[in-house]
Chain A
Amino acid sequence: MTSDAVLISRSLAGDNDAFVEVVRRHAAAVSAYLVRRTDRAAAEDLLAEVWVAAFSARSSCDQALPDACPWLLGIARNVLRRYWRMQPGAQASSDLEELAAPVDPWPAVDEWIDSAAVVRRTLACLPAAEREVLLLVVWERLSVAEAARALGIPAGTARRRLHQARLVLRRTPEIVALSSECTAAREVN
Protein backbone atom coordinates (compact mmCIF):
# COMPACT_ATOMS: atom_id res chain seq x y z
CA MET A 1 0.00 0.00 0.00
CA THR A 2 1.29 3.44 -0.88
CA SER A 3 2.28 5.35 2.26
CA ASP A 4 0.46 8.49 3.36
CA ALA A 5 3.68 10.44 2.88
CA VAL A 6 3.87 9.45 -0.80
CA LEU A 7 0.20 10.30 -1.34
CA ILE A 8 0.62 13.72 0.27
CA SER A 9 3.66 14.30 -1.87
CA ARG A 10 1.56 13.48 -4.95
CA SER A 11 -1.20 15.81 -3.78
CA LEU A 12 1.35 18.63 -3.49
CA ALA A 13 2.11 17.98 -7.14
CA GLY A 14 -1.57 18.46 -8.00
CA ASP A 15 -3.07 14.99 -7.51
CA ASN A 16 -6.17 15.80 -5.42
CA ASP A 17 -7.37 12.19 -5.43
CA ALA A 18 -4.21 11.20 -3.58
CA PHE A 19 -5.13 13.53 -0.73
CA VAL A 20 -8.71 12.20 -0.66
CA GLU A 21 -7.24 8.71 -0.28
CA VAL A 22 -5.28 9.89 2.78
CA VAL A 23 -8.32 11.35 4.53
CA ARG A 24 -10.39 8.26 3.68
CA ARG A 25 -7.79 6.06 5.37
CA HIS A 26 -8.01 8.08 8.56
CA ALA A 27 -11.70 9.04 8.47
CA ALA A 28 -12.60 6.67 11.30
CA ALA A 29 -9.79 7.89 13.57
CA VAL A 30 -10.46 11.58 12.94
CA SER A 31 -14.24 11.11 13.33
CA ALA A 32 -13.80 9.30 16.64
CA TYR A 33 -11.39 12.00 17.84
CA LEU A 34 -14.01 14.69 17.15
CA VAL A 35 -16.97 12.74 18.60
CA ARG A 36 -15.04 12.10 21.83
CA ARG A 37 -14.34 15.78 22.32
CA THR A 38 -17.56 17.48 21.28
CA ASP A 39 -21.17 16.54 20.62
CA ARG A 40 -22.05 14.43 17.62
CA ALA A 41 -23.82 17.21 15.70
CA ALA A 42 -20.79 19.47 15.97
CA ALA A 43 -18.46 16.61 15.08
CA GLU A 44 -20.46 16.00 11.91
CA ASP A 45 -20.02 19.61 10.88
CA LEU A 46 -16.37 19.83 11.93
CA LEU A 47 -15.15 16.77 10.05
CA ALA A 48 -15.24 18.54 6.69
CA GLU A 49 -13.55 21.55 8.21
CA VAL A 50 -10.69 19.38 9.45
CA TRP A 51 -10.17 17.92 6.00
CA VAL A 52 -10.27 21.28 4.27
CA ALA A 53 -7.81 22.69 6.83
CA ALA A 54 -5.56 19.65 6.35
CA PHE A 55 -5.62 20.11 2.58
CA SER A 56 -4.61 23.77 2.96
CA ALA A 57 -1.82 22.80 5.37
CA ARG A 58 -0.62 19.60 3.67
CA SER A 59 2.80 21.02 3.01
CA SER A 60 3.31 21.06 6.81
CA CYS A 61 2.99 17.26 7.04
CA ASP A 62 6.38 15.70 7.75
CA GLN A 63 6.90 13.41 4.75
CA ALA A 64 9.73 11.59 6.45
CA LEU A 65 7.02 9.81 8.48
CA PRO A 66 4.82 7.38 6.55
CA ASP A 67 1.67 7.64 8.72
CA ALA A 68 -0.26 10.94 8.50
CA CYS A 69 -2.76 10.10 11.26
CA PRO A 70 -0.98 11.99 14.08
CA TRP A 71 -0.62 15.02 11.81
CA LEU A 72 -4.36 14.89 10.93
CA LEU A 73 -5.26 14.65 14.63
CA GLY A 74 -3.12 17.72 15.24
CA ILE A 75 -5.12 19.57 12.57
CA ALA A 76 -8.36 18.31 14.16
CA ARG A 77 -7.18 19.63 17.52
CA ASN A 78 -6.64 23.11 16.09
CA VAL A 79 -10.06 23.10 14.42
CA LEU A 80 -11.65 22.00 17.71
CA ARG A 81 -9.88 24.75 19.59
CA ARG A 82 -11.35 27.35 17.25
CA TYR A 83 -14.77 25.74 17.67
CA TRP A 84 -14.54 25.70 21.47
CA ARG A 85 -13.55 29.34 21.57
CA MET A 86 -16.84 30.15 19.84
CA GLN A 87 -19.00 28.09 22.23
CA PRO A 88 -20.56 29.26 25.51
CA GLY A 89 -19.20 27.26 28.47
CA ALA A 90 -21.30 24.24 29.42
CA GLN A 91 -20.51 21.41 31.82
CA ALA A 92 -22.37 18.35 33.00
CA SER A 93 -25.17 19.00 35.47
CA SER A 94 -24.71 17.69 38.97
CA ASP A 95 -28.41 17.15 39.66
CA LEU A 96 -29.02 14.13 37.41
CA GLU A 97 -31.08 12.39 40.10
CA GLU A 98 -33.57 15.22 40.17
CA LEU A 99 -34.01 14.84 36.44
CA ALA A 100 -34.47 11.09 36.44
CA ALA A 101 -37.73 10.13 34.76
CA PRO A 102 -40.23 7.98 36.69
CA VAL A 103 -39.50 4.96 34.52
CA ASP A 104 -35.85 4.02 34.63
CA PRO A 105 -35.18 0.55 33.26
CA TRP A 106 -31.46 0.98 32.90
CA PRO A 107 -29.38 0.66 36.05
CA ALA A 108 -26.47 -0.37 33.83
CA VAL A 109 -26.77 2.94 32.03
CA ASP A 110 -26.65 4.80 35.31
CA GLU A 111 -23.57 2.90 36.33
CA TRP A 112 -21.93 3.63 33.00
CA ILE A 113 -22.85 7.31 33.19
CA ASP A 114 -21.69 7.57 36.79
CA SER A 115 -18.34 5.92 36.22
CA ALA A 116 -17.84 7.89 33.03
CA ALA A 117 -18.65 11.07 34.97
CA VAL A 118 -16.04 10.25 37.63
CA VAL A 119 -13.39 9.62 35.00
CA ARG A 120 -14.31 12.70 33.00
CA ARG A 121 -14.33 14.88 36.12
CA THR A 122 -10.86 13.64 36.99
CA LEU A 123 -9.66 14.16 33.43
CA ALA A 124 -11.04 17.69 33.54
CA CYS A 125 -8.89 18.40 36.61
CA LEU A 126 -5.69 17.35 34.85
CA PRO A 127 -3.58 20.09 33.31
CA ALA A 128 -4.68 20.40 29.68
CA ALA A 129 -1.24 19.57 28.32
CA GLU A 130 -1.11 16.29 30.28
CA ARG A 131 -4.70 15.40 29.47
CA GLU A 132 -4.11 15.81 25.74
CA VAL A 133 -1.19 13.40 25.71
CA LEU A 134 -3.07 10.86 27.85
CA LEU A 135 -6.17 10.91 25.62
CA LEU A 136 -4.21 10.69 22.39
CA VAL A 137 -2.49 7.59 23.74
CA VAL A 138 -5.55 5.94 25.32
CA TRP A 139 -8.42 7.02 23.10
CA GLU A 140 -6.70 7.48 19.77
CA ARG A 141 -4.22 4.63 20.42
CA LEU A 142 -1.22 6.66 19.31
CA SER A 143 2.25 5.86 20.56
CA VAL A 144 3.84 8.49 22.77
CA ALA A 145 6.02 9.55 19.83
CA GLU A 146 2.97 9.89 17.58
CA ALA A 147 1.09 11.87 20.25
CA ALA A 148 4.09 14.16 20.49
CA ARG A 149 3.91 14.65 16.72
CA ALA A 150 0.20 15.46 16.86
CA LEU A 151 0.85 18.06 19.54
CA GLY A 152 4.04 19.42 18.03
CA ILE A 153 6.14 18.73 21.12
CA PRO A 154 9.28 16.64 21.76
CA ALA A 155 8.67 12.96 22.50
CA GLY A 156 10.42 13.28 25.87
CA THR A 157 8.02 16.03 26.91
CA ALA A 158 5.04 13.90 25.87
CA ARG A 159 6.40 10.96 27.86
CA ARG A 160 6.82 13.11 30.96
CA ARG A 161 3.30 14.55 30.63
CA LEU A 162 1.81 11.08 30.25
CA HIS A 163 3.65 9.91 33.34
CA GLN A 164 2.38 12.90 35.33
CA ALA A 165 -1.20 12.32 34.16
CA ARG A 166 -1.10 8.64 35.16
CA LEU A 167 0.32 9.59 38.53
CA VAL A 168 -2.54 12.02 39.18
CA LEU A 169 -5.13 9.42 38.15
CA ARG A 170 -3.59 6.77 40.40
CA ARG A 171 -3.68 9.17 43.34
CA THR A 172 -7.32 10.22 42.84
CA PRO A 173 -9.44 8.36 45.44
CA GLU A 174 -12.54 8.09 43.18
CA ILE A 175 -10.45 6.54 40.40
CA VAL A 176 -8.82 4.12 42.81
CA ALA A 177 -12.26 3.11 44.14
CA LEU A 178 -13.67 2.74 40.63
CA SER A 179 -10.69 0.63 39.53
CA SER A 180 -11.20 -1.67 42.52
CA GLU A 181 -14.96 -1.97 41.83
CA CYS A 182 -14.38 -2.79 38.17
CA THR A 183 -11.67 -5.31 38.97
CA ALA A 184 -13.92 -6.97 41.56
CA ALA A 185 -16.85 -7.06 39.13
CA ARG A 186 -14.64 -8.57 36.44
CA GLU A 187 -13.45 -11.28 38.83
CA VAL A 188 -17.05 -12.11 39.79
CA ASN A 189 -17.97 -12.41 36.13
Chain B
Amino acid sequence: MDEMELVGRCGDVEPLSVEVVERAERILRAAMAASDSAEPLPPTTRRWSHPRRLLAGLGAAVVAIAATGAVVLISTGQGASSGPRRAASHNRVVAGTPADIRARVVDALSAGSNTILLVRSTMATPGEATIKSLAWYYPWAGQPGPVREAGSSWVAGDPAGKVEWEQTFTIPATDSSQASCGLRPAPGGRMVMRSLMSATGITIAFSDRTWQRTEISCVQSAPGLDAPAGLPSPSGRGPESDIRMMIADGLLREVGHQTVNGQPAIEFRSVTHGILTLALWVNASTYLPLRAVTTGPTGDPNPGKTWTEVDQYTFLSPTPANLAHLRITIPPGFSKAPPSSAQG
Protein backbone atom coordinates (compact mmCIF):
# COMPACT_ATOMS: atom_id res chain seq x y z
CA MET B 1 0.00 0.00 0.00
CA ASP B 2 1.60 3.32 -0.99
CA GLU B 3 1.27 6.70 0.70
CA MET B 4 -1.48 7.82 -1.69
CA GLU B 5 -3.65 4.82 -0.80
CA LEU B 6 -3.09 5.46 2.91
CA VAL B 7 -4.22 9.05 2.56
CA GLY B 8 -7.15 7.95 0.43
CA ARG B 9 -8.30 5.52 3.10
CA CYS B 10 -8.58 8.41 5.56
CA GLY B 11 -10.92 10.19 3.20
CA ASP B 12 -13.74 7.63 3.35
CA VAL B 13 -16.80 9.49 4.59
CA GLU B 14 -20.50 8.87 4.84
CA PRO B 15 -22.17 11.29 2.38
CA LEU B 16 -24.58 13.95 3.56
CA SER B 17 -28.17 12.79 3.56
CA VAL B 18 -30.65 13.44 0.76
CA GLU B 19 -32.62 15.63 3.16
CA VAL B 20 -29.63 17.89 3.82
CA VAL B 21 -28.97 18.24 0.10
CA GLU B 22 -32.64 19.02 -0.52
CA ARG B 23 -32.57 21.64 2.23
CA ALA B 24 -29.52 23.25 0.63
CA GLU B 25 -31.35 23.31 -2.67
CA ARG B 26 -34.33 25.07 -1.09
CA ILE B 27 -32.00 27.68 0.40
CA LEU B 28 -30.32 28.12 -2.98
CA ARG B 29 -33.70 28.64 -4.64
CA ALA B 30 -34.62 31.20 -1.97
CA ALA B 31 -31.38 33.06 -2.68
CA MET B 32 -32.08 32.91 -6.41
CA ALA B 33 -35.55 34.33 -5.87
CA ALA B 34 -34.05 37.12 -3.78
CA SER B 35 -31.49 37.91 -6.43
CA ASP B 36 -34.21 37.94 -9.10
CA SER B 37 -36.14 40.55 -7.13
CA ALA B 38 -35.82 44.22 -8.00
CA GLU B 39 -33.93 45.05 -4.81
CA PRO B 40 -30.27 43.97 -4.73
CA LEU B 41 -29.23 41.63 -1.91
CA PRO B 42 -28.05 43.52 1.14
CA PRO B 43 -24.25 43.34 1.34
CA THR B 44 -24.32 41.23 4.50
CA THR B 45 -25.91 38.27 2.70
CA ARG B 46 -22.47 37.32 1.49
CA ARG B 47 -21.04 37.06 4.97
CA TRP B 48 -23.33 34.62 6.71
CA SER B 49 -21.88 31.35 7.76
CA HIS B 50 -25.10 29.47 8.51
CA PRO B 51 -28.27 28.99 6.51
CA ARG B 52 -30.39 30.29 9.36
CA ARG B 53 -28.63 33.62 9.39
CA LEU B 54 -28.60 33.56 5.62
CA LEU B 55 -32.36 33.27 5.57
CA ALA B 56 -32.77 35.93 8.21
CA GLY B 57 -31.20 38.41 5.84
CA LEU B 58 -32.85 37.44 2.61
CA GLY B 59 -35.73 39.66 3.52
CA ALA B 60 -38.94 40.06 1.64
CA ALA B 61 -38.20 37.51 -1.04
CA VAL B 62 -37.86 34.78 1.55
CA VAL B 63 -40.94 35.91 3.39
CA ALA B 64 -42.84 35.53 0.16
CA ILE B 65 -41.48 32.02 -0.31
CA ALA B 66 -42.21 31.19 3.32
CA ALA B 67 -45.84 31.76 2.51
CA THR B 68 -45.65 28.69 0.29
CA GLY B 69 -44.46 26.63 3.23
CA ALA B 70 -41.05 25.73 1.83
CA VAL B 71 -38.96 28.01 3.99
CA VAL B 72 -40.75 27.41 7.25
CA LEU B 73 -38.89 24.14 7.42
CA ILE B 74 -35.56 25.68 6.54
CA SER B 75 -35.84 28.44 9.07
CA THR B 76 -36.20 25.95 11.91
CA GLY B 77 -33.30 23.92 10.67
CA GLN B 78 -35.57 21.08 9.76
CA GLY B 79 -34.84 20.61 6.11
CA ALA B 80 -34.82 16.91 6.75
CA SER B 81 -38.10 17.15 8.51
CA SER B 82 -40.48 18.12 5.83
CA GLY B 83 -43.69 16.23 6.15
CA PRO B 84 -43.98 13.04 4.17
CA ARG B 85 -45.28 13.70 0.71
CA ARG B 86 -48.37 11.91 -0.40
CA ALA B 87 -47.29 9.51 -3.09
CA ALA B 88 -49.17 9.41 -6.35
CA SER B 89 -49.74 5.75 -5.58
CA HIS B 90 -50.44 6.31 -1.91
CA ASN B 91 -53.31 3.90 -1.96
CA ARG B 92 -51.03 1.02 -2.94
CA VAL B 93 -51.42 -1.58 -0.24
CA VAL B 94 -48.60 -3.72 1.08
CA ALA B 95 -49.82 -7.30 1.08
CA GLY B 96 -50.83 -8.76 4.42
CA THR B 97 -53.16 -8.10 7.28
CA PRO B 98 -52.29 -5.33 9.76
CA ALA B 99 -51.11 -8.05 12.14
CA ASP B 100 -48.85 -9.52 9.41
CA ILE B 101 -47.33 -6.12 8.72
CA ARG B 102 -46.75 -5.44 12.40
CA ALA B 103 -45.09 -8.85 12.70
CA ARG B 104 -42.76 -8.03 9.78
CA VAL B 105 -41.77 -4.73 11.39
CA VAL B 106 -41.07 -6.47 14.70
CA ASP B 107 -38.97 -9.09 12.87
CA ALA B 108 -37.00 -6.39 11.03
CA LEU B 109 -36.41 -4.52 14.28
CA SER B 110 -35.18 -7.72 15.91
CA ALA B 111 -32.84 -8.79 13.13
CA GLY B 112 -30.46 -5.91 12.70
CA SER B 113 -28.20 -6.20 15.72
CA ASN B 114 -24.98 -5.97 13.70
CA THR B 115 -25.95 -2.63 12.26
CA ILE B 116 -25.24 0.94 13.28
CA LEU B 117 -28.28 3.12 13.74
CA LEU B 118 -27.86 6.83 13.02
CA VAL B 119 -30.64 9.05 14.33
CA ARG B 120 -30.89 12.66 13.21
CA SER B 121 -33.27 14.62 15.39
CA THR B 122 -34.77 18.06 15.34
CA MET B 123 -36.71 19.35 18.32
CA ALA B 124 -38.78 22.46 17.62
CA THR B 125 -40.74 24.38 20.22
CA PRO B 126 -42.62 27.56 19.27
CA GLY B 127 -40.77 30.63 20.50
CA GLU B 128 -37.62 28.70 21.42
CA ALA B 129 -34.42 27.77 19.66
CA THR B 130 -34.57 24.61 17.59
CA ILE B 131 -32.33 21.84 18.89
CA LYS B 132 -30.68 19.42 16.50
CA SER B 133 -28.84 16.24 17.34
CA LEU B 134 -27.07 13.31 15.78
CA ALA B 135 -26.76 10.02 17.66
CA TRP B 136 -25.07 6.78 16.63
CA TYR B 137 -25.91 3.43 18.23
CA TYR B 138 -24.18 0.10 17.85
CA PRO B 139 -25.59 -2.45 17.99
CA TRP B 140 -28.95 -0.78 17.94
CA ALA B 141 -31.54 -3.52 18.36
CA GLY B 142 -31.55 -3.56 22.16
CA GLN B 143 -30.26 -7.12 22.47
CA PRO B 144 -28.43 -8.16 25.66
CA GLY B 145 -24.80 -7.03 25.79
CA PRO B 146 -22.88 -3.79 25.49
CA VAL B 147 -24.30 -1.00 23.39
CA ARG B 148 -22.31 2.07 22.47
CA GLU B 149 -23.99 5.42 21.89
CA ALA B 150 -22.29 8.59 20.77
CA GLY B 151 -23.69 11.83 19.52
CA SER B 152 -23.85 15.56 19.59
CA SER B 153 -26.55 18.16 19.96
CA TRP B 154 -26.57 21.85 19.24
CA VAL B 155 -28.83 24.82 18.78
CA ALA B 156 -29.68 25.11 15.09
CA GLY B 157 -27.33 27.58 13.48
CA ASP B 158 -24.77 27.36 16.27
CA PRO B 159 -22.86 24.08 15.83
CA ALA B 160 -19.83 25.59 17.59
CA GLY B 161 -21.72 25.55 20.92
CA LYS B 162 -22.48 21.84 20.70
CA VAL B 163 -22.42 19.16 23.37
CA GLU B 164 -20.91 15.80 22.48
CA TRP B 165 -21.35 12.59 24.40
CA GLU B 166 -20.26 8.98 24.34
CA GLN B 167 -21.86 6.30 26.51
CA THR B 168 -21.66 2.57 26.93
CA PHE B 169 -24.73 0.71 28.13
CA THR B 170 -24.85 -2.91 29.16
CA ILE B 171 -28.21 -4.47 28.48
CA PRO B 172 -28.70 -7.43 30.82
CA ALA B 173 -29.80 -10.85 29.64
CA THR B 174 -32.72 -11.05 32.00
CA ASP B 175 -36.45 -10.63 32.00
CA SER B 176 -37.70 -7.17 31.22
CA SER B 177 -39.28 -6.44 34.56
CA GLN B 178 -35.92 -6.62 36.31
CA ALA B 179 -34.53 -3.97 34.03
CA SER B 180 -37.06 -1.33 34.92
CA CYS B 181 -35.99 1.44 37.23
CA GLY B 182 -36.75 1.02 40.92
CA LEU B 183 -35.37 1.06 44.46
CA ARG B 184 -32.69 -1.62 44.70
CA PRO B 185 -30.05 -2.58 47.28
CA ALA B 186 -26.69 -0.87 46.90
CA PRO B 187 -23.34 -1.42 48.68
CA GLY B 188 -23.52 -0.34 52.34
CA GLY B 189 -27.08 -1.54 52.80
CA ARG B 190 -28.56 1.53 51.14
CA MET B 191 -31.45 1.44 48.74
CA VAL B 192 -30.97 3.48 45.61
CA MET B 193 -32.95 4.04 42.46
CA ARG B 194 -31.33 1.92 39.81
CA SER B 195 -32.09 -0.48 37.04
CA LEU B 196 -30.02 -3.41 35.87
CA MET B 197 -29.08 -1.23 32.95
CA SER B 198 -26.59 1.53 33.61
CA ALA B 199 -24.38 3.67 31.44
CA THR B 200 -21.00 5.30 31.78
CA GLY B 201 -19.51 7.80 29.45
CA ILE B 202 -18.03 11.18 28.70
CA THR B 203 -19.72 14.46 27.89
CA ILE B 204 -17.97 17.41 26.28
CA ALA B 205 -19.43 20.92 26.44
CA PHE B 206 -17.91 23.07 23.70
CA SER B 207 -19.59 26.23 24.95
CA ASP B 208 -17.50 26.33 28.15
CA ARG B 209 -14.67 24.05 26.91
CA THR B 210 -15.14 21.41 29.64
CA TRP B 211 -15.60 17.64 29.72
CA GLN B 212 -16.77 15.28 32.41
CA ARG B 213 -17.29 11.61 33.04
CA THR B 214 -20.92 10.65 33.41
CA GLU B 215 -22.64 7.74 35.07
CA ILE B 216 -26.32 7.02 34.65
CA SER B 217 -27.55 4.48 37.17
CA CYS B 218 -31.16 4.13 36.19
CA VAL B 219 -31.48 3.65 32.46
CA GLN B 220 -35.12 2.94 31.83
CA SER B 221 -35.15 1.85 28.25
CA ALA B 222 -32.72 0.46 25.78
CA PRO B 223 -30.84 3.03 23.72
CA GLY B 224 -31.64 3.35 20.08
CA LEU B 225 -35.23 3.10 19.02
CA ASP B 226 -36.66 4.20 22.32
CA ALA B 227 -39.97 5.96 22.40
CA PRO B 228 -39.85 9.51 23.76
CA ALA B 229 -40.35 9.80 27.51
CA GLY B 230 -43.97 10.56 28.26
CA LEU B 231 -45.58 8.09 25.92
CA PRO B 232 -47.44 5.42 27.81
CA SER B 233 -44.98 2.62 28.46
CA PRO B 234 -45.44 -0.68 26.73
CA SER B 235 -46.04 -3.49 29.13
CA GLY B 236 -42.92 -4.83 30.82
CA ARG B 237 -40.79 -1.94 29.69
CA GLY B 238 -37.25 -3.21 29.68
CA PRO B 239 -34.20 -4.05 27.66
CA GLU B 240 -35.90 -4.04 24.31
CA SER B 241 -36.62 -1.43 21.74
CA ASP B 242 -39.66 0.58 22.84
CA ILE B 243 -40.84 1.04 19.29
CA ARG B 244 -40.63 -2.67 18.66
CA MET B 245 -42.67 -3.31 21.79
CA MET B 246 -45.24 -0.66 20.92
CA ILE B 247 -45.80 -2.23 17.51
CA ALA B 248 -45.88 -5.75 18.93
CA ASP B 249 -48.40 -4.64 21.57
CA GLY B 250 -50.58 -2.85 19.02
CA LEU B 251 -49.93 0.60 20.53
CA LEU B 252 -48.72 1.75 17.10
CA ARG B 253 -51.13 0.90 14.30
CA GLU B 254 -50.85 1.10 10.54
CA VAL B 255 -52.86 3.98 9.12
CA GLY B 256 -51.69 4.39 5.54
CA HIS B 257 -49.04 4.33 2.84
CA GLN B 258 -46.90 7.29 1.81
CA THR B 259 -43.59 8.18 0.25
CA VAL B 260 -40.88 9.31 2.66
CA ASN B 261 -37.52 10.49 1.28
CA GLY B 262 -38.46 8.95 -2.03
CA GLN B 263 -39.12 5.54 -0.50
CA PRO B 264 -42.49 3.81 -0.24
CA ALA B 265 -43.39 3.77 3.43
CA ILE B 266 -46.05 2.46 5.78
CA GLU B 267 -47.31 4.96 8.32
CA PHE B 268 -48.11 4.00 11.91
CA ARG B 269 -49.77 6.19 14.54
CA SER B 270 -49.96 5.79 18.28
CA VAL B 271 -53.40 4.79 19.42
CA THR B 272 -53.02 5.59 23.11
CA HIS B 273 -54.91 8.39 24.79
CA GLY B 274 -51.80 10.03 26.29
CA ILE B 275 -50.91 13.64 25.75
CA LEU B 276 -48.15 12.77 23.28
CA THR B 277 -48.63 11.44 19.79
CA LEU B 278 -46.15 9.40 17.82
CA ALA B 279 -46.20 8.85 14.06
CA LEU B 280 -43.76 6.36 12.58
CA TRP B 281 -42.95 5.58 8.96
CA VAL B 282 -41.25 2.32 8.06
CA ASN B 283 -39.78 1.32 4.72
CA ALA B 284 -42.39 -0.76 2.88
CA SER B 285 -39.72 -3.19 1.66
CA THR B 286 -37.33 -3.57 4.57
CA TYR B 287 -39.84 -2.68 7.33
CA LEU B 288 -37.10 -0.67 9.04
CA PRO B 289 -38.01 2.77 10.42
CA LEU B 290 -37.40 5.82 8.25
CA ARG B 291 -38.83 8.61 10.36
CA ALA B 292 -40.72 9.27 13.59
CA VAL B 293 -42.54 12.46 14.55
CA THR B 294 -43.54 13.01 18.16
CA THR B 295 -45.64 15.93 19.31
CA GLY B 296 -46.63 17.05 22.77
CA PRO B 297 -47.89 20.10 24.63
CA THR B 298 -45.31 22.68 25.68
CA GLY B 299 -47.05 23.38 28.98
CA ASP B 300 -47.75 26.89 27.75
CA PRO B 301 -51.11 28.29 28.94
CA ASN B 302 -51.97 28.61 25.26
CA PRO B 303 -53.45 25.15 24.74
CA GLY B 304 -52.62 24.98 21.05
CA LYS B 305 -48.86 25.15 21.54
CA THR B 306 -46.98 21.94 20.95
CA TRP B 307 -43.38 20.86 20.56
CA THR B 308 -42.40 18.55 17.75
CA GLU B 309 -39.50 16.13 17.56
CA VAL B 310 -38.60 14.68 14.19
CA ASP B 311 -36.25 11.69 14.10
CA GLN B 312 -34.74 10.40 10.87
CA TYR B 313 -33.30 6.88 10.92
CA THR B 314 -30.43 5.58 8.83
CA PHE B 315 -28.98 2.08 9.11
CA LEU B 316 -25.29 1.67 8.36
CA SER B 317 -22.91 -1.23 8.09
CA PRO B 318 -20.35 -1.49 10.91
CA THR B 319 -17.26 -0.52 8.94
CA PRO B 320 -14.35 0.86 10.99
CA ALA B 321 -15.03 4.31 9.54
CA ASN B 322 -18.69 4.18 10.61
CA LEU B 323 -17.83 2.70 14.01
CA ALA B 324 -15.36 5.51 14.58
CA HIS B 325 -18.36 7.84 14.96
CA LEU B 326 -18.99 6.04 18.25
CA ARG B 327 -15.83 7.55 19.69
CA ILE B 328 -15.56 11.19 20.66
CA THR B 329 -12.32 13.06 21.18
CA ILE B 330 -11.70 15.66 23.85
CA PRO B 331 -10.07 18.66 22.21
CA PRO B 332 -6.83 19.80 23.83
CA GLY B 333 -7.16 22.61 26.34
CA PHE B 334 -10.60 21.52 27.55
CA SER B 335 -10.73 21.27 31.34
CA LYS B 336 -12.11 18.35 33.28
CA ALA B 337 -15.27 19.05 35.30
CA PRO B 338 -16.29 16.89 38.29
CA PRO B 339 -17.99 13.64 37.30
CA SER B 340 -21.76 13.71 37.19
CA SER B 341 -24.20 10.96 37.97
CA ALA B 342 -27.83 10.84 37.06
CA GLN B 343 -30.83 8.67 36.67
CA GLY B 344 -31.77 8.26 33.05
Listed in ascending order, the chain A residues whose CB lies under 8 Å from chain B are 16, 19-20, 23-24, 27-28, 31-32, 34-36, 39-49, 51-53, 55-56, 82-83, 86-88, 90-96, 99, 101-103, 105-106, 108-109, 111-113, 115-116, 119-120, 123, 134-135, 138-139, 166, 169-170, 175, 178-179, 182-183, 186
Contact B330 A93 (CB under 8 A): yes
Contact A115 B49 (CB under 8 A): no
Contact B7 A123 (CB under 8 A): yes
- With beta carbons under 8 angstroms apart, the residue of A48, A83, A178 that contacts B51 is A48
Tell me if B205 is interfacial: C-beta within 8 Å of chain A: no
Contact A35 B321 (CB under 8 A): no
- With beta carbons under 8 angstroms apart, the residue of A34, A44, A83, A96 that contacts B49 is A83
Contact A101 B49 (CB under 8 A): no
- With beta carbons under 8 angstroms apart, the residue of B2, B13, B16, B54 that contacts A49 is B54
Name the CB-closest residue of B to A178.
Answer: B6
Contact B8 A47 (CB under 8 A): no
Contact A109 B49 (CB under 8 A): no
- With beta carbons under 8 angstroms apart, the residue of A32, A42, A105 that contacts B15 is A32
Contact B159 A93 (CB under 8 A): no
Tell me if B27 is interfacial: C-beta within 8 Å of chain A: yes
Contact B16 A101 (CB under 8 A): no
Name the CB-closest residue of B to A91.
Answer: B332
Measured CB to CB, the closest approach of chain B to A30, in angstroms, equals: 9
- With beta carbons under 8 angstroms apart, the residue of A34, A35, A86, A113 that contacts B324 is A113
Measured CB to CB, the closest approach of chain A to B199, in angstroms, equals: 10
Listed in ascending order, the chain B residues whose CB lies under 8 Å from chain A are 1-11, 13-16, 20-21, 23-25, 27-29, 31-32, 35-36, 46-51, 54, 132, 134, 146, 148, 152, 154, 157, 159-160, 162, 166, 168, 170, 200-202, 320-321, 323-324, 326-327, 329-333
Contact B332 A119 (CB under 8 A): no
Measured CB to CB, the closest approach of chain B to A86, in angstroms, equals: 6
- With beta carbons under 8 angstroms apart, the residue of A24, A92, A178 that contacts B25 is A24
- With beta carbons under 8 angstroms apart, the residue of B24, B47, B200, B321 that contacts A51 is B24
Contact B46 A103 (CB under 8 A): no
Measured CB to CB, the closest approach of chain B to A166, in angstroms, equals: 6
5 A-B pairs with the lowest CB-CB distances in the bound complex, closest first: A112-B320, A139-B11, A48-B27, A48-B24, A169-B3
- With beta carbons under 8 angstroms apart, the residue of A16, A31, A108, A109 that contacts B327 is A109
Name the CB-closest residue of B to A176.
Answer: B3
Question: What are 29 A-B contacts with C-beta separation under 8 Å?
Answer: A27-B21, A27-B24, A31-B21, A32-B11, A35-B14, A40-B134, A41-B159, A43-B16, A47-B16, A48-B51, A48-B54, A49-B54, A51-B25, A52-B28, A52-B54, A92-B329, A101-B202, A103-B148, A105-B146, A109-B320, A112-B321, A112-B323, A134-B7, A138-B4, A166-B4, A169-B6, A169-B7, A179-B1, A182-B1
